[in-house]
Amino acid sequence: MTSTAPGAAPVAAGRVTPRWWRCVVVLTLPAVVATIAGPGSPVAPVAYVVTVLASALVITAVVIRLPAGRRAAWGWIAGAQWLWAAGDVLSLAPVLTGQVVTESLTTAAYLLGYLPAVTGVVLWTRSVRASSGPVGGDRPDRAERLKVLEAAILAISLTALVVVFVIIPVLTRHAAAGAPLSDMAYPLVDVVLIFVLARSWSPGRARPPAFAPLALAIAATVTADLIWSVARIEGAVDVTRLTNGLWLACDVLLAVAALRAREPVRPAGERTGAGTSWSVTVLAAALPGLALTVGAGGLSVGQVRWLALGSTVGVVAVVVRLAAAGAELRRRSEQLAELARTDVLTSLPNRRTWDEHVARVRATDPGDPSDPSGRDRVRHVALLDLDRFKAFNDTHGHQAGDELLRDCAARWTAALPAGALLVRWGGEEFALLLDGLADDSARAEVEGLRAVTPAGQTVSAGLVRWLAGEDVAAVLRRADAQLYRAKAEGRDRCCGVGEPTAPPRGALPGPRRARVEARRR
């Protein structure tokens, strides 16, 4: 809603064009002119330099206005763009000024630009991981190790391809015709950039808006470097227009990424994208093997060895990643199983745990009430219920009621002996299984729980001895009957085994069960 001054015309609400879209339009125009005009046109070099310098200026202006926490990463990237711009100006100097500049000087400017570029991307990916957090509840150290392993698989495969199809041919040409060894440096630094960026990519993780244009910029320059390197080796096709277009696309996308660096991180979607991550990882590991299979007939012995090595290392890395994935799957399965057996509010075991535990115990030791020692095979079951819990909730609120349940669970668990099982049965009711205690000792444990009940609340309990051959439902019915009896006789007491011969003073005869149930809460 917007307000206007009296008598003023209402302002139509419309969607405002983002600033980075305007930048795309402004920077794309000279880039398109430079690409379409081609290397022989006098307009192309001017348009090319205008695009590169404008991109560097935009990134620098953004860096100045960024918060201190984000400024370092983009400051390094701005430095890289200025070095690349210097290399472009030097390479186009013969066309622009008529002065000849040695190729080694322009190559030095280009290669030096990769150092701040890698540094900036490293700092940026660290901030991305810190802001978005691990995926799926992973611990940060585990998630980081898995991302490094996946990025290493990609880098190993790409390195094998670069060695086979770029470095070995460059070394061969250098030995035969003195080709510059710097030609093999570009693909290698590109692999480093891909490795660094791949560490920050996790499908399903919240990513900043700058991620997509930055990734596309790196993809554009990597593709251009690869095409340029292969063209230099083959020497048959002129790819200047194509590579210049890709490098200019990188310049524009870097400016867009810098502009979007100020936007907040959007929440991640529901999909985890694990399938996409695995597809990329497996495909990357398979690339050397595919290249070896397709081009085995035309490769030298050295090239075949490098592809075989890359394929082997990639397969081993995938096996290691599969083992890590299996361990992670087991860990998450255990977490889910634990959640299914635990009460969310009190962190006590729930009825499912009770059923599993009782079935396991009765299967191994059915119990014998005639055991004269009163230990080992003798078991007691108790049901405990907080008195007037509904009234407590109505008076203090449901949050206070939840806190009371949590506090009871903590205090009772601390007061119980080892081997006792306390579960939340439902609502304000709890169930207790005691092993190896005589009747008086079992009753003393239940009375001890009543004594440590917090917030001045009282507890009613029904305690029974588990008879030999008695099923679970039957013993629970008897414990429940004793609990109803405790409620009927005035609450705040334990009824059942081990109670005094004479009833408590002031105890009233219990009414019929239906009436007691109506008054229970």
pLDDT tens per residue across span 40-89: 677 788 888 888 888 899 899 989 988 887 788 999 999 999 999 998 88
Tokens of residue 478, six digits: 């008897």
Look-up: residue for tokens 């009772």? 412
The confidence score (pLDDT) of residue 331 equals: 78
Q: Is 221 helix (H, G, I), strand (E, B) or coil?
A: helix
Say which residue, 317 or 361, is predicted with more confidence.
Answer: 361
Number of Cβ within a 10 Å radius of residue 486: 28
Beta-carbon contacts of residue 275 (< 8 Å; ≥ 6 apart): none
Q: Which of 23-37, 283-297, 304-318, 341-355 has the highest mean pLDDT?
A: 341-355
428 is catalytic: yes
Cα 338 from Cα 333, distance rounded (Å): 9
Residue 76 contacts residue 116 (beta carbons within 8 Å): yes
Q: By C-alpha distance, which of 83, 89, 231 is closest to 170?
A: 231
The confidence score (pLDDT) of residue 12 equals: 41
Which helix (H) or strand (E) segment holds residue 433: the answer is: strand 429-435
Is residue 137 very low, low, confident or very high in pLDDT (cuts 50, 70, 90)? Answer: very low
Is residue 275 very low, low, confident or very high in pLDDT (cuts 50, 70, 90)? Answer: very low
Catalytic residue among 150, 428, 445, 470: 428
Q: By C-alpha distance, which of 262, 263, 260, 266 is closest to 22?
A: 260
pLDDT beyond 80 at 98: no
- Average confidence score pLDDT of the chain: 75
Q: Pairing between strand 421-426 and 429-435? A: antiparallel
Number of Cβ within a 10 Å radius of residue 95: 16
Q: Which amino acid is at 394?
A: D
Q: Which of 275-279, 411-415, 486-490, 491-495 has the lowest mean pLDDT?
A: 275-279
Q: By C-alpha distance, which of 20, 48, 36 is closest to 214?
A: 20
Q: By C-alpha distance, which of 256, 200, 193 is closest to 226?
A: 193
Question: Percent of the chain beyond pLDDT 90?
Answer: 22
Q: Which amino acid is at 47?
A: A
Is residue 4 very low, low, confident or very high in pLDDT (cuts 50, 70, 90)? Answer: very low
Which helix (H) or strand (E) segment holds residue 434: the answer is: strand 429-435
Is residue 14 very low, low, confident or very high in pLDDT (cuts 50, 70, 90)? Answer: very low
The confidence score (pLDDT) of residue 318 equals: 66
- For residues 24-34, average pLDDT: 71
User: What strands, in cross-sheet order, belong to the sheet with 421-426?
Assistant: 421-426, 429-435, 379-386, 459-465, 494-496
- For residues 449-454, average pLDDT: 92
Question: Percent of the chain beyond pLDDT 70?
Answer: 64
Beta-carbon contacts of residue 81 (< 8 Å; ≥ 6 apart): 52, 55, 56, 59, 113, 251, 254
> Per 3-state DSSP, what percentage of the chain is helix, strand, and coil (rounded to 5)?
65, 5, 25
Residue 214 contacts residue 123 (beta carbons within 8 Å): no
CA max distance for the chain: 117
Q: Is 202 helix (H, G, I), strand (E, B) or coil?
A: coil
Residue 125 contacts residue 196 (beta carbons within 8 Å): yes
The confidence score (pLDDT) of residue 116 equals: 92
Say which residue, 438 or 317, is predicted with more confidence.
Answer: 438
The confidence score (pLDDT) of residue 10 equals: 41
Q: Give the C-alpha distances (Å, rounded to integers) separating 451 from 430, 455, 461, 497.
A: 16, 11, 12, 18
The confidence score (pLDDT) of residue 364 equals: 67
Cα 229 from Cα 367, distance rounded (Å): 81
Q: Is 107 helix (H, G, I), strand (E, B) or coil?
A: helix
The confidence score (pLDDT) of residue 509 equals: 40
Q: Is 181 helix (H, G, I), strand (E, B) or coil?
A: helix
Say which residue, 295 or 126, is predicted with more confidence.
Answer: 126
pLDDT tens digit sequence for 482-495: 999 999 999 999 99
Sequential DSSP letters for 334-400: HHHHHHHTB-TTT--B-HHHHHHHHHHHHHH----TT-TT--SS-EEEEEEEETTHHHHHHHH-HHH
Q: Is 425 helix (H, G, I), strand (E, B) or coil?
A: strand
Both ends of the chain: CA-CA distance in Å? 50
Tokens of residue 361, six digits: 């115990």
Say which residue, 400 or 227, is predicted with more confidence.
Answer: 400
The confidence score (pLDDT) of residue 515 equals: 35
What is the 3-class SS of 270-318, one letter each residue? Answer: CCCCHHHHHHHHHHHHHHHHHHHHHHHHHCCHHHHHHHHHHHHHHHHHH
Look-up: residue for tokens 């051959």? 469
The confidence score (pLDDT) of residue 16 equals: 40
pLDDT beyond 50 at 176: yes
Cα 427 from Cα 363, distance rounded (Å): 29
- For residues 274-289, average pLDDT: 57
Is residue 129 very low, low, confident or very high in pLDDT (cuts 50, 70, 90)? Answer: low
Residues present in the chain in total: 521
- For residues 430-457, average pLDDT: 91
- For residues 357-364, average pLDDT: 78
**Chain-centre distance of CA 60, in angstroms?**
32
Sequential DSSP letters for 117-177: HHHHHHHHHHHHHHHH--GGG--HHHHHHHHHHHHHHHHHHHHHHHIIIIIHHHHHHHHHH
pLDDT tens digit sequence for 145-154: 666 777 777 7
The confidence score (pLDDT) of residue 122 equals: 85
Q: By C-alpha distance, which of 254, 183, 258, 185 is closest to 219?
A: 254
- For residues 239-252, average pLDDT: 86
Q: Which of 129-138, 174-183, 191-200, 389-398 has the lowest mean pLDDT?
A: 129-138
Residue 465 contacts residue 379 (beta carbons within 8 Å): yes
